[in-house]
Structure 1
């Protein structure tokens, strides 16, 4: 598939514009779904701290386990067909909850099954889109393209949480999921409009799925900066996973925030993410991708302390401050890492590398979520939130440790199935999940 010409605005390139539209619809559906599922578990089905944390853990667990296999699939199948199938299935899965609720058969088990299946579909789509972007825009424009996609995604997120909060207040969390399902239907129509050229299969040098996974792992192992970002991000996600899992329960039960206030904190995060996306390109080009990652990692880790601080000060204001700070810093961090990953990978390996990186970053999220939920039921929310913030900050601080090796090049390896020759380290970027 032809990429956007170097001298043409990305906003005049139809495939890229369609991807931006897909990001808006997807984020709207995801935000409504996430808020409604969490509130349904806590307020509708009587889940405690561990039960609320289990919803988040089960959403992330499929991504941690299946992302490498999703990467192999992305590199081998017709990409547009895969995108359409995944988004259409997402609409059906989310729509099953309001149907079950209307029939009077909604159970916590059904909610957990939806969380698992929806998570698997979400992270398969994430890998597929990371593999599709380098086939739409040239390597030199990936930083700007990732920034624009992030801005598009988070512009949809601005209204999603607030809309979700209003819908939950008006019709209840189960029926509010009808709006989430409708957003996924729009997303499916947008990816269906992508050029058929995305269905062209790339030649595969690997003879088996295991060989395919090894070739993707070789890319990550051969890029010291990328490797450091992934490991640090996994540690940061361990801490933030616990905090995120407890966030809704803590805000509604302990801080007594209303549904609109909770939705507003998510909306402010989305607005901050848009601002971060607009600033990410200039900041990363000025300081370098690695330096931007180091700075933003520390800021994101430190921001996590604002959540438990809400128990000792103006709760709503402190949670808003957390969402603004984390939204800005986390966005630059994510864009820098995704761009580094894509630039370091040849086109035929994009899915596998994206799947492996996503798997490592996501593995610690359910661990943190379940561990945080279990400890909170025993120790209380605030001690666990303080501990999770400390884990996040320490993990981000490891980005400042010296990286041994030679200066790193982001040129994709010529022989993707063999480990790339180690380069002297410079500075990697990184992402949050």
Structure 2
């Protein structure tokens, strides 16, 4: 099937789209993110229980990152040439099968560290296709005039799932890891059913022949746009150095002396802050100097990371992580808005794939970096160095990308 292009919607159609197609899209995002967050809690806790190794926790992030890195150019082209709903649904079925394998391995007693790495790689490959396809699907679900509001609502759905997912994962893990994996299996299946049922008011796109130039066109487009390149690369390096989430099992178990419920609360705290930030920007959007706001938010992100690294109090750690999430959402809003508003629809899948690679690099590879440095210097030193590195990168990027500093609007300026 061909990739749908959005068409103009009449005013009478908008209500139907908002309460039918977009609701299904929103529900799919919630269920998919909820499942992934619960699975991350179970994988991290079970891996640390098996190995008691910070390096092993980092390897889980690396196993998820490598498929995304290798498949970036492929997934963007697939998202621009085929039905994005079908791609997302297939990916979620694969993720459901991975969760089911986790369940069977736990019940059968054969789930080992190599098996977790293998399943994490399968999840990473599926999410490599799912992320750009899901992001580029949204313009075909709502009219362009509603895209900004729909993006904010979609982001809030993701943040809400990141709040509930770790908390639910921690509580369910108290009943046993098999309870978490069963819940993930059910949620992934429900998400696949929802996205398959989304009606699109769209025209089929012309499928141009695949050439070497078209494969690399997403990267070429970003290189021609210094504002987008600066925003994506800043978020990449900031989270790469400031990503302490891979070490949360160590903090929960060894430093803060809590159990799985504490790990769930710690993983939920950044999403709580991010949700608060998302709701704030939904009511008070960044209309002036979004670049300056982005740089300021990343500096606050680095400071919050340092506070978390120094903290030995559970509640102070929660506050620091919530502030970390609230400051990070500024970068998320600016980056996603720039990609959605400044990229032609026929290239949106390829550009979104590169954006997903940057996000995956900062998250999964950042977890690997945190695990390696924690194995060398200890968990606290790793987090502190990451926070300081984040602030240093931000100051450097303000000199390297002056266009991002001077940017006065998210829309393309005349």
How big is each residue's C-alpha offset from its partner over 1:190-247, in whole Å with a ceiling of 9 and x where there is no partner?
101112667x652244532x32233212321222211111121221122133x22222
Q: 2:39 aligns with which of 29, 33, 45?
A: 33
CA distance in 2, matches of 1:360, 1:268: 23
CA distance in 2, matches of 1:124, 1:47: 32
Offset at residue 254 of structure 1 (A)? 2.7
CA distance in 2, matches of 1:395, 1:4: 43
Aligned positions of 1:1-400 closer than 5 A: 1-2=6-7, 5=10, 8=14, 12-43=18-49, 45-170=50-175, 172-195=176-199, 201-205=204-208, 207-208=210-211, 210-241=212-243, 243-311=244-312, 314=313, 316-400=314-398
Offset at residue 142 of structure 1 (A)? 2.6
Contact 2:73 2:216 in 1 (8 A): no
Offset at residue 36 of structure 1 (A)? 0.5
How big is each residue's C-alpha offset from its partner over 1:318-375, in whole Å with a ceiling of 9 and x where there is no partner?
2211221122121232122111111111111000001112223433544443333233
Q: What 5-or-longer segments of structure 2 have no aligned partner?
A: 1-5
Contact 1:29 1:160 in 2 (8 A): yes
CA distance in 2, matches of 1:385, 1:279: 28
> Which deviates further from its counterpart, 174-183 or 135-144?
135-144
Offset at residue 97 of structure 1 (A)? 1.0
Offset at residue 428 of structure 1 (A)? 8.1
Offset at residue 386 of structure 1 (A)? 0.8
Q: What 5-or-longer segments of structure 1 have no aligned partner?
A: 409-423
Contact 1:135 1:347 in 2 (8 A): no
CA distance in 2, matches of 1:291, 1:370: 30
Offset at residue 26 of structure 1 (A)? 1.1
**Number of matched pairs:** 404
152 and 366 in structure 1: CA distance in 2 versus 1, 3 angstrom threshold: closer
CA distance in 2, matches of 1:361, 1:230: 8
Offset at residue 299 of structure 1 (A)? 1.6
How big is each residue's C-alpha offset from its partner over 1:137-193, in whole Å with a ceiling of 9 and x where there is no partner?
3334332211101112222333222211111111x2244211111111110111011
Offset at residue 47 of structure 1 (A)? 3.9
User: Residue 304 of structure 1: SS of its match in structure 2?
Assistant: helix
CA distance in 2, matches of 1:397, 1:404: 11
CA distance in 1, matches of 2:407, 2:271: 31
User: Residue 284 of structure 1: SS of its match in structure 2?
Assistant: coil
CA distance in 2, matches of 1:3, 1:184: 32
Moved over 6 A (4+): none
More helix by share: 2
